[in-house]
Amino acid sequence: MHKAVLSGLPLDDLKEALKPLPSYRGQQVFHWLARGVRSFADMTNLSLPLRAELDARFSLYSSVISAQLPDPDGTVKLQITLYDGTRIEAVLLADREYRRTACLSTQVGCPMGCVFCKTGTLGLIRNLDSAEIVEQFFHLYLIEKTEKKESNISNIVIMGMGEPLKNLPELRRALAVLTDPEGLGFSKRRITLSTSGIVEGIRDLTDKGPDIRLALSLTTADAGLRERLMPVTVTNPLTQVKEALRSYQQRRKRRITLEAVLLGGINTRKTDVDALATFAEGLEVVVNLIPWNPVPGMSFEGRPLREPSRGELAIFIEGLEKKGLTVTRRLRKGRSITGACGQLGGNL
Ligand code: SAH
Ligand code: SF4
């Protein structure tokens, strides 16, 4: 029989699962899990017979690291194998010398089919459960912890494989585990969810939380072009996406990130600058530009995709800044291990 897995259970569910043991036992196990412990044998404040009993009844983890790929720029990509043999990737980004960001996946593959993204070519294989999301964090956390004693993961971005708003219930549970002050107590302000723009999901997040940061993968605000690059636009028109973002901002009072992956010769035109600036009107945003990370063999309407040239990038940034927008450029991290944005899932 498949043993129940504990890593992804919010505290109350964990207490429930451990019954008839008293609830403080749940609290003890929750504390251990929040410190990255993954074996009952290490839970030294539990008696030996209790550890054995728990071990017989439960699994702490359901996934294992199957490969660890370090990039010379400090990024580390993990390939993680799930209980059913499917694989996902999670990335530890070295933003600054001491700061690390954990980039987590929410699905095996992705159903959204954006034409520029490797993960999209896989289609949706399945949603991850809460345990599989939490475990990605702790797999990354432990690399950090063993190398430098303390973990320096200061931010989480839900920007790995998959569309997070298509798996919101399990993601919510995972975030409840990671942010619970009784456990790790990770700050919600340091968690960012990136979506391709699912109107219903943004509304759901606005209404029911959690109160995390939101990023929209806008790519272009030219609706016609966006429909061809990101099919999600057909059923989630940008006017409705913008309305949902406005409500989110009114409610949550947080600045929203508009991400734009720049595809050379496709969405770097003056009209894209203008459309993006119009879309941003009435919202408080920062624009994050991501020069397209190469994925071999990808094309758009018969033309191979290419990175934007330096000139295209410079003109695009200048155009947006002239319109008064704050623009940041995402660093190209993890390219040599295909761990950069949009490259995940290429060698699973
Ligand atoms: N599915 C979510 C989150 C994961 S994708 C979303 O789409 O928002 C994370 C980011 O990588 C998105 O902003 C996406 O537009 C970008 N991206 C996808 N493929 C890319 C590529 N090949 N190069 C650069 N960025 C890419
Ligand atoms: Fe899915 Fe995001 Fe890739 Fe689009 S960019 S296919 S939504 S992972």
Count other Cβ atoms within 10 Å, centred on residue 189. 11
**For the CA of 195, the nearest ligand:** 1
Q: What is the pLDDT of residues 213-235, one digit of tens each?
A: 999 999 999 999 999 999 999 99
Choice between 332 and 185, residue whose per-residue pLDDT is larger: 185
Q: What is the pLDDT of residues 198-214, one digit of tens each?
A: 999 999 999 999 999 99
CA of 338 to the centre of ligand 1 (A): 13
Contacts with 258 (C-beta within 8 Å, 6 or more apart), sequence order: 215, 216, 218, 276, 279, 280, 285, 286, 287, 288
Cis-peptide into 164, omega within 30 deg: no
Dist CA 174 CA 60 (whole Å): 14
For residue 1, pLDDT over 70 is answered with no
Question: Going by CATH, does the domain composed of 4-59 fall within 1.10.132.20?
Answer: no
Residue 105, ligand 1, Cβ within 6 A = no
Dist CA 201 CA 193 (whole Å): 11
| 89 catalytic residue (yes or no) | yes
pLDDT grade for 347, boundaries at 50, 70 and 90 = low
Whether 4-59 shares its CATH topology with 64-337 is answered: no
Residue 295, ligand 1, Cβ within 6 A = yes
CA of 138 to the centre of ligand 1 (A): 23
What pLDDT was estimated at residue 72?
86
Active-site residue, from 89, 132, 163, 312 = 89
Average pLDDT over residues 120-144: 95
CA of 111 to the centre of ligand 1 (A): 13
Locate the domains of the chain by residue range: 4-59, 64-337
**For the CA of 164, the nearest ligand:** 1
Dist CA 323 CA 147 (whole Å): 45
Active-site residue, from 103, 114, 117, 341 = 341
For residue 37, pLDDT over 60 is answered with yes
Among 157, 268, 307, 341, say which to mutate for ligand 1: greatest number of ligand atoms within 8 Å of CB.
341
Q: Which has the closest alpha carbon to 90: 76, 100, 111?
A: 76
Dist CA 214 CA 158 (whole Å): 10
Contacts with 16 (C-beta within 8 Å, 6 or more apart), sequence order: 26
What pLDDT was estimated at residue 331?
67
Q: Which has the closest alpha carbon to 34: 4, 9, 64, 16?
A: 9
Average pLDDT over residues 162-176: 98
Average pLDDT over residues 63-76: 92
CA of 247 to the centre of ligand 2 (A): 24
Among the atoms of ligand 1, which is closest to the Cα of residue 215? 8
pTM (2 decimals)?
0.96
User: Topology of domain 64-337, per CATH?
Assistant: TIM Barrel (3.20.20)
| 341 catalytic residue (yes or no) | yes
Q: 100-103 and 153-158: which strand pairing?
A: parallel
**For the CA of 193, the nearest ligand:** 1
What pLDDT was estimated at residue 10?
98
Among the atoms of ligand 1, which is closest to the Cα of residue 298? 22
CA of 203 to the centre of ligand 1 (A): 21
